[in-house]
Structure 1
Amino acid sequence: MPSSPATPSANAGRHRGRRAPSATRRIATRASAAGATLALPVIGATATSAFAEESTYTVQSGDTLSTIAMEQDVEGGWTALYEANKSVIGDDPNLISPGEELTLDTASADSGTSTQTTTTTQVSTEPSAVMPVSGGTPTAGYEASGSNWSTGVHTGQDWSVPVGTTVKAAVDGKVVKAGWDGSFGYEVMIEHADGDYSMYAHLSQIDVSVGQTVDAGDRIALSGATGNVTGPHLHFEVRTTPEWGTAIDPVAWLRGYGVDV
């Protein structure tokens, strides 16, 4: 959304705060071969200790791999988390179930599989996403506060760019919305393999259709100034569902994919 719009309309600035981590989320420690469970950190532990530990996470209702990776600061982001837990999750990274125990030690998982293939080592070194626009000036950031938005909080990241700037799919996915959305103007929404959704708003032109599959870097639209704005810019938002009210930090999300924002 814009950083300094005129008096907002009742329909304008449909923004909301960060999805609070569930109070039931927890970090556990995996029991050693001797049957003991130790709390982290272990004071005085040595490399030869018999109690090798590995931090784990218990999946809660509403979790996605992306949000887990961000909230637990997983090295390599959600893709590394998925590769480290593929034997638990299965072939579809969208299908994680409450109660599943996931390892957060992606570095250890990589070293254990490096003799088989080189695929997993590429996860944490090769960015799998792109910036949605190039050459833009960051304006209103995620959770910026003020009277510019009806809820008092901004839910995405804005970049000031001229009308007609190419807007790219940040990550591979499938288009689930392409059209008008009130104060957001013309927008495109893409569903991704991590279970999250990226949204691109205030567009002047849409170049994709619902159901279309896109790759990271594909042109999906042109930036504009449609909807509730005071100037041309791209509003980039990431949600855990396609519904309004489930936004997460889009900059942290991009960094989880290896993008230097």
Structure 2
Amino acid sequence: MKIVIAGGNGQIARRLGRLLAARGDSVIGIVRNPAHSSDLQADGIEPVVCDLEKTSSDEVARVISGVDAVVFAAGAGPGSGAARKHTVDHQAAVLLADAALRAGIRRYVMVSTRGAGSPPPAHADDVWAAYVHAKTAADEHLMAQDLDWTVLRPAALTNEPGTGSVRLTAERSIGEVTRDDVAQVLVALLDTPATTGLILELAEGPDPVREAVSHAAEARTGQPGQRP
């Protein structure tokens, strides 16, 4: 497969890119900062410098033309204010969806967050509330498009080593999940077209990643999930 990862220098994106490149996929990582290009090249990923906060959908469509799938893994990141939650976590995701439509690319996997799809809790600070609102708006926009989308909402993220076992359901995620395991799940989702149209909540759990994704696909279709 040929895959574009938006937010290519992010912690989940780097892990995902390395997994895909290691098995022989062609991976393009969209980055804002040219200084990150060498890191991606070292991972076996082709970097493309493109600021999703400032560019047009036509330009992004040119960047992603001819690929099999796009993954939105960009984020404003820790320390950013509410305004950038809107411009990155919402608007950049919308821009990528619009570009995919223009470029004729159907498969779009969204890395969302726990709590998206519901109002932020009353005790949430302004920045977290803005983040949840931005992710919810991005998810809703994507789900309204004529794309083969999957929305993944991980629980609280950790940098512990991956376990290879998760819980992947339609129910609200609680607890934690490692970034390693999120990346593994994203690979399995890309390999499983039958997960199209699903909103999946991810946390640590008892099921091997491939089984968890296959079961999610079966629950939707009543047929065994497609495997690579």
Q: TM-score range by the shorter chain?
A: under 0.3
Q: TM-score normalised to the size of structure 2?
A: 0.28
Higher Cα radius of gyration: 1
Higher normalized helix content (fraction of residues): 2
Normalized against structure 1, the TM-score is what? 0.25
